[in-house]
Structures are given as structure tokens and as C-alpha cells.
Amino acid sequence: MRKPAPTFRLDELATRFTLERHGPSDTLIHGVATLASANREQLAFLANPRYASQLANTQAGVVVLTADQARHCLVPTLVAKDPYAAFARIATLFESRPTAQPGIHPSAVVDPTAIIDPGASIGPGCVIEQGVRIERGAVIGPHGMIGPDCSIGAHSRLLANVTLVTRVHLGQRVLIHPGAVLGADGFGLAFSEEHWLKMPQLGGVKIGNDCEIGANTTIDRGTLDDTILEQDVHLDNQIQIAHNVIIGAHTAMAGCSAVAGSTHIGRYCLIGGGAGILGHLEVGDRVTITAMSLVTNNIRASGEYSSGMPLQNHHLWRRNAVRLKHLDELTRRVAALEKEKTRHE
């Protein structure tokens, strides 16, 4: 079932979100859009200064922006300290999510030992195995696979094709996008007698309240203890979290980043896209790692860290890259010149 598109008055939005209003109180808003594409019945926002030039020509009915930018705006505005956050709150009003039907779809295969709240929704083709517990308001999308001894907290939502392998415990309001795999065996191998011996993976995965896990992201179960995401951790798509990793509350990781086994990451960290963090490390709180950086040592001090060569025209890059292979030697040559100079002085 779909609800009709909602409508809000400008004064209603100003009051509800405690924003300063400039413009007629009865301006009607039927939706949200970007500065460039909004029409007179839509609300837009300006947060990134890159897009400030779009303000002059916007057709939006209302714009959410800072007091500074509001001075340049010819259409009605809502003034916010953080326009991005304010817009996020307003946009939620216009989100239409198909409401999931409570109950178990007849095509789902459910083990008799599973305990499923009658208010939970189990989609078509789901497989729910032994000892599973699913709380009220939880939604498991089509083809969800919930393996032995997993539990899913109230109001958590798993979209299509999510797999929880074994001993995965989700808190409340966890959101998991399609194709994510939680609780697969960690990559534990011992080399013995010229072949690999698989280390049994016996731990689980614990995901705190309000976490979000991106599409096709993988989080392995711990070897003995659990792999842990504390509350409000946000992982983008195609992230790899190895066994026994712990990620502190409120940390966010961008797409394709990866954390190797047994590393602990602090709270309020920001990990850039494609960044890699080696195993058995400690990364403190409020650490930012920029995109595609490689972390090979503990990081104790909060702050921003980077690695990665800058992009160049391929031919220039080639010349510099070749020289890089001799940088140690070059440094010694400079030291020799300096010594020589000193000797002559």
C-alpha cells in the first residue's frame, strides 16, 4: 500500500525542526529536490559551497541554508546551522517506504525451533534456521537467509538477499542492504606439512543498535570471540571486516574499505573509500583516514592521516615512479653533498 504524497506548510516545517523562516508561512511544499532541479512546490538545500552558484537560478519553493548564504537567496528560506542535517530531517517526511506485511510468507522455510515475533515480517523465499530469534517489527526481505543461533533485534530491517551465516546478533533498528554477508568464516589458516589447515571459526558477530551495513559488504565471524560493531556504526557498500575486528560507536567507513583480523578501531572515526587497515592494530578515537590509504601501524592520536601517491599524467608519473625506486640512494647523495659543503666551509 502506498500513502499519497504528503504536503507541508512552510511555518509547519519551521516549527517542527526549530528553523528560522524567511517567506510566506503558507508556502506549500510537496517534496524535496536539488537546487538545480527543484520546482516551486519543492524544498531544496545548500550545504556544499561547490553548489552555491546554483542558488541564483534555483526554481525551488524553499531553500534550507545557513544565515550567511540566506542573504544571497531570492526565494523563501529556512535557516539552519547545519543545512545538511536539517534537510535530512525534513526529507524523511517525504520518504515513502512500502510497509512490510507482518507475518511469514508462505514460501519461507522456517525451522520449528525459531522464535519469531508475530509483528515481524518474513519475506518470500526466506530460510530461518534453528535457534533463531526475531523481535517485533523486524523485517526480513526476500531470500533472506538467517542461519543457526542468530538473533535480530526489534525494528531491524534486512533488505533482499541478506545472509546471516551463524551466531550473528543484531541490535535494534539495524539496517542491512542487499547482498551483505555477516558471520561467514574468518580467513584463518595454519600452514602445516606443506598444506593449509583451516582454523575452525567458532565465534559470532555482534552488531549494535542503529548500525547500517552496505550492499555486498562482508563481516566475518570471530575465531573464538566475536567480531563487534558498537552502536551507530555505518558501513558503506563492499566493505570487508575480518574476524575479531572491533569497531567503536559512531564510526563511519566509506565504500570498498577493509579491516584485517583482530584490529580495533575507535569511536567517531572516519575511514575513506578503499582504505585498508592491517591486522592486529589499534586505531584510536576520532581518527580520519583518507581514501585508499594503507594503515600499517597503530594510530593513537586523533587526527587525519593519508598515504597514496598523487595522480599525474602517465608519462610524468612514470619518470617520478622510476626515481622513487632510488630515493634512499638519492637521499644519501644529498647527504654526501652537504658533508662536502661543510668540509669546504
Angle at the Cα of 35 from the Cα atoms of 30 and 41, rounded to 5 degrees: 20
Binding of residue 165 to a copy of itself (CB under 8 A): yes
169 is catalytic: no
Q: For a copy of itself, which residue of 14, 104, 138, 145 counts as binding (CB under 8 A)?
A: 145
- Complex with a copy of itself: residue 1 or 26, whichever CB lies closer: 1
Binding of residue 103 to a copy of itself (CB under 8 A): no
- Alpha-carbon distance of 27 to 9, in angstroms, equals 6
> 86 CB contacts (<8 Å, ≥6 apart)?
17, 19, 45, 64, 78, 80
Phi first, then psi: give them for residue 290, nearest 5 degrees.
-80, 165
Question: Using CB under 8 A, which residues numbered 220 to 249 contact a copy of itself?
Answer: 220, 224-225, 232, 234, 236-238, 240, 242
**CB neighbours (10 Å) of residue 186?**
24
Q: Shortest gap between Cβ of 324 and a copy of itself (angstroms)?
A: 6
Burial bucket for residue 185 (CB in 10 Å: 0-12, 13-18, 19+): middle
Binding of residue 330 to a copy of itself (CB under 8 A): yes
Q: For a copy of itself, which residue of 72, 99, 200, 300 counts as binding (CB under 8 A)?
A: 200
Q: For a copy of itself, which residue of 250, 265, 266, 269 counts as binding (CB under 8 A)?
A: 250
Q: Shortest gap between Cβ of 28 and a copy of itself (angstroms)?
A: 19
Q: Shortest gap between Cβ of 326 and a copy of itself (angstroms)?
A: 7
Binding of residue 282 to a copy of itself (CB under 8 A): no
Q: For a copy of itself, which residue of 178, 264, 285, 286 counts as binding (CB under 8 A)?
A: 178
Annotated catalytic residue: which of 169, 177, 243, 250? 243
Q: Shortest gap between Cβ of 22 and a copy of itself (angstroms)?
A: 22
Binding of residue 124 to a copy of itself (CB under 8 A): yes
> Sheet holding 287-289: strands in order across?
103-104, 121-122, 139-140, 157-158, 175-176, 212-213, 234-235, 252-253, 270-271, 287-289
With contacts defined by CB under 8 A, name the span among 13-21, 60-68, 69-77, 317-325 that binds a copy of itself: 317-325
Three-class SS of 122-191: ECCCCEECCCCEECCCCEECCCCEECCCCEECCCCEECCCCEECCCEEECCCCEECCCCEEEECCCCEEE
Nearest to 152 by CA among 133, 137, 165: 133
Binding of residue 312 to a copy of itself (CB under 8 A): yes
Binding of residue 121 to a copy of itself (CB under 8 A): no
Q: Shortest gap between Cβ of 213 and a copy of itself (angstroms)?
A: 11
Residues 136 and 157 sit within 8 Å (Cβ to Cβ): no
Q: How many residues interact with a copy of itself (rule CB under 8 A)?
A: 132
- Alpha-carbon distance of 206 to 209, in angstroms, equals 10
Q: How do 195-198 and 189-192 pair as beta strands?
A: antiparallel
Binding of residue 75 to a copy of itself (CB under 8 A): no
Binding of residue 163 to a copy of itself (CB under 8 A): yes
Q: For a copy of itself, which residue of 104, 154, 260, 265 counts as binding (CB under 8 A)?
A: 260
Binding of residue 9 to a copy of itself (CB under 8 A): no
**CB neighbours (10 Å) of residue 44?**
26
Q: Shortest gap between Cβ of 70 and a copy of itself (angstroms)?
A: 19
Binding of residue 132 to a copy of itself (CB under 8 A): no
Binding of residue 48 to a copy of itself (CB under 8 A): yes
- Here the cell at position 58 is 534555483
Binding of residue 325 to a copy of itself (CB under 8 A): yes
Residues 135 and 191 sit within 8 Å (Cβ to Cβ): no
Binding of residue 17 to a copy of itself (CB under 8 A): no
Residues designated as active site: 243
